[in-house]
Amino acid sequence: MRVAGLTALALAALAILPLFVHSNYVLSIAISGFIFVVCAAALNLIYGFAGLLSFAQLGFWGIGGYAAAIAVVDGKLGFAASVMFAALLAAVIALVTGFPILRTNRHAFVIVTLTFALLCALVARDWISVTRGPLGIPSLPVPTFFGFAFASPTRFYYLAFAFAVLALGILYALVTSRIGLLLKAIKQNEALARSQGISPMPYKLFAFVLGAALTGMAGGIYVFHLRIVDPTFLDFYYMQTFLIFVVLGGAGSFWGVVIASALMVALPEALRFTNDLRMVIYGFVLVVAMLVMPRGIAGVFHDRRLNALRAKLA
Amino acid sequence: MEISLTYFLQLTVNGIVLGLLYGLIAVGLALIFGVMEIVNFAHGEIVMVGAFAMMFALPLFALGYWPAALVAMLVTGALGLLLYELLLARIERSEFERSILVTLGISMILLYGMQYLFTATPRLVDTNLGFEGFELGDIRITWIRCVAAFAALAAFVALGLILRFTQFGLAMRAIAQNRDAALMIGIKPRQVARNGVMVATALCGLAGAALAPIQSVQPAMGQALIFKAFALTVIGGLGHMGGALVVAIMLGLIESWSAAFTDAVWQEASVFIVMIVIVLVRPEGLFGGKRVRLG
């Protein structure tokens, strides 16, 4: 009940935020926050629940961004159709590549997904006839949806907000369902899960493909915020950001990751750090979180609750 | 396109030099994986620190190449010791993902920290060797490249001798080959891992020092190198140093040739495609896989 109440309160606060905040800068940060929290939650599905540290998310992010931009500029598709195309393309590529990648061991999985992401960046830079190479695709049109143009930052804010709520809703429903439990079981002990008649592959593949589709969609929407897509869209910086949110929040905890994302988006901005300094702080947070609280914020709260219960019983 | 023999040989020489420097990086990566089963994401940034150390040390020694390179090796070796004692030693061997995230955090701190301090602008480095060279037949080799190749070769020979004939090196190989058996005969894994990390990071320092006058020095230089080095160690077989070196020289040659003779567009991508295929087909790498499998 408390979670539901807090969520409703947070949603209400975010829904009325543009009424009080008119700074384009703040709105732009909030928009990035909405998009990034979806990517972090999708990564959390794959890493936190299925236990697979996937760097391929960066690749799907880039595929989504480029697919949406190319669909809208060269394909003359509308905004919604382009974003759906981005999600679909990321999902199909995840399905095709996921099957062989998921058969490898965990060392190889990390290396192959990382290589996949780098390959996507190189393709973005080198496949000039399709991606325009280093110049990128500038001046994307203003996204319109059924005749309604998301021209102002406030309008785009609501677009990103709606997307984040929808995507997080889907992920929440999934991780609290039987499938979420099964993924956790496979992560904790694959042999035991197998012995109970659970075949890990379909579940892992499902998590990989759904995570890719949501990340691709997020990338597709984000390019309309940037209004340009170029190879820097596949900078490793995005992957590091998604990872930080997941690790700090606690891999495998839905709310932990959401809260950590909000904190990590808002805090450095509030403290007015330069971009480089913010990434240094992200790096420190990553190292310290891994050493001091490997299960993130969620782990700390979980331990406190357990200790309180123990104290009550004693 | 007509290709003159001279031009071809010139490219070959340049490719071998580049490959040897890649080899220094990849061998260190393989060494750390061998003694700790950690894939070090901060490896490229340590090379970058070595290059910066070279750049700052050169004026102190009147642009003397060797003393400055030695300083770079000491700086990165000390950095390796610090990182090991502070962070890496706390990671258990089974926590593979955790080791990746910790080293990724270290790489972010180093990369963006250096960018914050020294900006992202590339800097040129001048040494007392200048940009002079010597002629070998029709081929012209700059002293900078010649010295870099010599330094890399010397490092490989030294490393090979250490690993084969000294207690220090034999212990590293023992840990890499069979940890339990090594423990049984009284080898201390912590000490060996620390030595391995220090040797590997010192090699990074040498690679950075040698690269500094050849390329330009900038904070992002490590990222480009580390991903290539990952590919090399995977293709060569994780933890297999000889394999990593052979593949590194091949990569240097391919890069040098293809940059001149082909459109070069898909050249970088092809390295990664080859790597993915090899991992999927032979997860133990091209040169690995001599281990006995049960069942």
pLDDT of residue B264: 56
In a domain, B6, yes or no: no
The tokens for A176 are 């609290």
CA B39 vs CA A167, A235, B24, B155: distances in Å: 33, 21, 16, 22
Domain housing B88 = 21-134+142-242+266-281
Q: Are A283 and B90 a contacting pair at CB < 8 A?
A: no
Give burial (CB, 10 Å; 0-12/13-18/19+) of A185: middle
In a domain, B154, yes or no: yes
DSSP string, A148-160: EE--SHHHHHHHH
In a domain, B247, yes or no: no
Measured between beta carbons, the chain A residues lying within 8 angstroms of B234 are: 111
In a domain, B7, yes or no: no
Q: Are B39 and A107 a contacting pair at CB < 8 A?
A: yes
Tell me what ipTM this predicted complex has: 0.81
CA distance A276 to chain B (A): 5
In a domain, B71, yes or no: yes
CB A78 within 8 A of CB A144: yes
In a domain, B288, yes or no: no
Would an 8 Å CB–CB cutoff place A277 in contact with chain B? yes
Please tell me whether residue B40 adopts helix, strand or coil conformation: coil
Distance, CA of A44 to CA of A258 (rounded, Å): 10
The count of structural domains within chain B is 1
Give A23's contacts (C-beta < 8 A, 6+ positions apart).
none
List, run by run, the mean pLDDT of 10-residue segments along chain A (314 residues).
80 80 82 92 90 91 93 84 92 91 80 87 83 81 75 84 92 90 86 86 91 94 89 88 88 86 80 79 87 81 87 83
Distance, CA of B121 to CA of B115 (rounded, Å): 9
Q: Which DSSP state fits B127?
A: -
- Ranges of residues in chain B with a pLDDT under 70 are 1-3, 130-131, 238-239, 261-267, 283-295
Q: Are B97 and A106 a contacting pair at CB < 8 A?
A: yes
Q: Facing residues of B123 across strands?
A: B217
Distance, CA of B190 to CA of A126 (rounded, Å): 45
Give B135's contacts (C-beta < 8 A, 6+ positions apart).
none
CA B40 vs CA A179, B24, B44, B81, B230: distances in Å: 34, 14, 9, 14, 9
Q: Which DSSP state fits A233?
A: G
How big is chain B by its Cα radius of gyration, in Å?
A: 19
- Structural domains of chain A, with CATH: 2-313 (1.10.3470)
CB A297 within 8 A of CB A255: no
B122: left (phi over 0), alpha (psi -120 to 50) or beta: beta
Would an 8 Å CB–CB cutoff place A293 in contact with chain B? no
Question: Of A143, A154, A169, A23, nearest to A84 (Cα)?
Answer: A143
Question: Scanning every residue of chain B, which has its alpha carbon at the shortest distance from the alpha carbon of A100?
Answer: B280
Give A232's contacts (C-beta < 8 A, 6+ positions apart).
A136
How remote is the C-alpha of B227 from its chain's centroid?
11
Question: Scanning every residue of chain B, which has its alpha carbon at the shortest distance from the alpha carbon of A273?
Answer: B116
In a domain, B253, yes or no: no
Distance, CA of B204 to CA of B21 (rounded, Å): 9
**Of the partner residues B97, B113, B283, the one whose CB lies closest to the CB of residue A108:** B283
A252: left (phi over 0), alpha (psi -120 to 50) or beta: left
In a domain, B218, yes or no: yes
CA distance B77 to chain A (A): 20
pLDDT of residue A27: 85
Distance, CA of A81 to CA of B224 (rounded, Å): 36
The percentage of residues in chain B with a pLDDT greater than 90, rounded to a whole number, is: 18
pTM of the model: 0.85
The tokens for A201 are 């592959």
Q: Are B102 and A106 a contacting pair at CB < 8 A?
A: no
Measured between beta carbons, the chain A residues lying within 8 angstroms of B86 are: none
Measured between beta carbons, the chain A residues lying within 8 angstroms of B276 are: 112, 115-116, 119
Helix (H), strand (E), coil (C) string for A44-79: HHHHHHCCCCCCHHHHHHHHHHHHHHHHHHCCCCCH
pLDDT of residue B131: 67
